[in-house]
């Protein structure tokens, strides 16, 4: 039977899925489309140059392994890179290096001075008319910076893209940058951090932050005043446009039409566009298809809820800025119970500061529990690492002390790795603390063990049943 490109790529995906996390597979491999197969050369389509560069930097060995399994040792992979809505680059490689001929757009010599406009010719919806010459107020919150945006696995891609844009606004492969995620995860902070960085280092650039709601209200006012052309002309002269909560444009046909023309002009002129949303572009309802397709031209990066260590870093850093010390066990307890959003974590910080400074109370476990009760319905009854070790040891019929030793016997290794995995999932202990409770191991061992267990969960149905049974026993202990 003759194999086509889809069959070969599906087989490659089967190998790849076993070797990466579900989130990485969804983000970096599901969007890839096979185009054609010519002998030992498979051509795949990727969304943009940044996507291509990320694959090259992080997944070369895996791609090399999977393609050679299917097509032999001489197999080659060709990337078909989509940019600006159309394919314009093909990069051929043998799965370990490629070159593209993308060229950054250069500024025109006779371009007017950016950031300064004549208000008699173009009306600025952000100022009172009548001033002859003005500089655009970026409408940014100066407290939103990269320095106080804590990086973790949950936001590393989006933050890295934001830093790259801040260095070369409009000159990267990710234009527009669409940042999406649930409420309170830092979308506005990150988007404005890019703007603040550009304002600080490139004062000639006209940067503007506006919420989708305000943008819509400005359009309504422009229509009433018969000044839509002035409105559009003003926005088309912005160098970096940041629009927050783009989902609120859904269902507003006239607003979308005007924004479509502004978007096209900015993008065509090499200006940077940054958008935030509470959902991915493909999930935006009531949005014109032509807009959604343009949102996909650049990079779409999601923000997820920070893990325990990142939440601890965020809260600890904010309290440290206020000159307030918090015991590590109290910090772990708070961050273990606040899991829904960074905004909730900020609320806890304010409450702890108020109690500490206004009524002169020390931040201890009793105060933390008191504050937490205002944010969560019930405080999780804490499982101890020691108890998890006991339950796992009984299930696998191994001595607990073997989990603390370097034994390589399979049963002992699996029991130890599963205990670490469950300790991270069900306790408020940091990776460092968990490692210390397993014979003085470091946090990297815990990370490796958790990944090994997750890989087995993704590929072994029998092991999943085992883990579910152990977790059932742990839940029973919580209710006893």
Q: Where are the domains of the chain?
A: 5-93, 116-302, 308-372, 385-479
Give the CA diameter of the chain. 83
Q: Which residues contact 223 (CB under 8 A, 6 or more apart)?
A: 254
Q: Which of 46, 27, 45 is nearest to 36 (CA)?
A: 45
Residue 163 CB coordination number (10 Å): 14
CATH number of 116-302: 3.40.50.300
CA angle 306, 441, 412 (to 5 degrees): 105
CATH number of 308-372: 1.10.8.60
The C-alpha atoms of residue 382 and residue 226 are separated, in whole angstroms, by 63
CATH number of 385-479: 1.10.1750.10
Q: What is the pLDDT of residue 150?
A: 76
Per-residue pLDDT of the chain (480 residues; tens, 9 = 90+): 457 889 899 999 988 888 887 767 877 888 888 998 988 888 998 877 767 777 877 788 888 888 888 888 888 888 887 654 434 444 444 344 443 333 333 333 334 444 444 434 445 555 534 433 346 788 888 888 888 787 777 788 888 888 888 888 888 877 888 998 877 788 888 999 999 999 999 888 889 999 988 889 888 888 888 888 888 888 888 889 999 988 888 888 888 888 888 888 888 888 999 999 888 888 888 888 888 888 888 888 888 877 777 778 877 777 777 777 777 877 887 777 777 667 777 777 788 777 777 777 778 887 878 777 766 654 445 568 888 888 888 888 888 887 787 777 888 888 889 999 988 888 878 888 888 888 888 888 889 989 988 888 888 888 888 888 888 777 665 544
The DSSP secondary-structure symbol of 24 reads H
Q: What is the pLDDT of residue 209?
A: 92
Residue 413 CB coordination number (10 Å): 16
CATH number of 5-93: 3.30.300.180
> 310-322 burial string, b = 16+ CB within 10 Å, else e?
bbbbbbbebbeee
The C-alpha atoms of residue 126 and residue 46 are separated, in whole angstroms, by 39
Instruction: State if pTM tops 0.75.
Output: no
Task: Tell me what the pLDDT averaged over the chain comes to.
Answer: 78
The predicted-structure confidence for 74-130, as pLDDT tens digits, reads as follows: 888 888 876 544 344 444 443 444 433 333 333 333 344 444 444 344 455 555 344
Can you spell out the DSSP letters for 103-139? -PPPPPTTPPPTTEEETTTS--TTS-TT-SEEE----
The C-alpha atoms of residue 14 and residue 88 are separated, in whole angstroms, by 29
């Amino acid at each position: 039977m003759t194999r086509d490109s889809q069959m070969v790529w599906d087989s490659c995906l089967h190998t790849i899925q076993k070797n990466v996390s579900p989130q990485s597979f969804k983000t970096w491999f599901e969007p890839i489309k096979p185009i054609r197969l010519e002998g030992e050369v498979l051509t795949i389509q990727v969304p943009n140059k940044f996507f291509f560069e990320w694959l090259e930097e992080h997944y070369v060995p895996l791609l090399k392994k999977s393609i050679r399994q299917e097509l032999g040792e001489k197999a080659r992979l060709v990337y078909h890179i989509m940019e600006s809505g159309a394919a314009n680059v093909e990069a051929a490689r043998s799965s370990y290096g490629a070159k593209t001929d993308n060229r950054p757009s250069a500024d025109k010599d006779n371009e007017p001075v950016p950031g300064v406009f004549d208000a008699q010719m173009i009306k600025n919806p952000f100022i009172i008319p009548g001033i002859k010459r003005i500089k655009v107020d970026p409408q940014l919150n100066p407290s939103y910076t990269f320095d106080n945006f804590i990086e973790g696995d949950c936001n590393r891609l989006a933050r890295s893209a934001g830093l790259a844009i801040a260095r070369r606004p409009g000159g990267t492969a990710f234009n527009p940058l669409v940042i999406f995620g649930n409420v309170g995860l830092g979308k506005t902070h990150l988007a404005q951090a890019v703007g603040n960085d550009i304002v600080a280092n490139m004062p000639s650039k006209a940067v503007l932050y506006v919420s989708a709601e305000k943008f819509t209200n400005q359009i309504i006012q422009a229509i009433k005043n018969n000044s839509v052309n002035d409105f559009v002309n003003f926005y088309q002269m912005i160098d970096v446009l940041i629009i927050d909560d783009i989902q609120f444009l859904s269902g507003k046909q006239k607003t979308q039409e005007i924004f479509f023309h502004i978007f096209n002009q900015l993008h065509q002129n090499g200006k940077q566009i940054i958008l935030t949303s509470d959902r991915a572009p493909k999930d935006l309802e009531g949005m014109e298809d032509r807009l959604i397709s343009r949102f996909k031209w650049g990079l779409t990066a999601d923000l997820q809820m920070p893990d325990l260590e990142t939440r601890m870093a965020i809260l600890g850093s904010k309290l440290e800025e206020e000159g307030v010390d918090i015991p590590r066990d109290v910090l772990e307890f708070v961050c273990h119970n606040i899991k829904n959003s960074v905004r909730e974590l900020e609320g806890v910080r304010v409450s702890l500061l108020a109690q500490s400074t206004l009524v002169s109370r020390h931040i201890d476990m009793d105060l933390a529990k008191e504050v937490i009760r205002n944010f969560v319905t019930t405080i999780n009854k804490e499982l101890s690492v020691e108890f998890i070790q006991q339950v796992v040891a009984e299930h696998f019929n191994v001595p607990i002390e073997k989990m603390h030793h370097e034994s390589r016997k399979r049963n002992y290794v699996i029991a130890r790795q599963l205990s670490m995995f469950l300790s991270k999932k069900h306790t408020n202990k940091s990776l460092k603390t968990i490692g210390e409770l397993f014979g003085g191991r470091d946090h990297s061992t815990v990370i490796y063990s958790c990944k090994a267990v997750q890989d087995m969960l993704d590929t072994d149905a029998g092991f999943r049943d085992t883990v579910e049974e152990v977790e059932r026993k742990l839940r029973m202990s919580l209710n006893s």
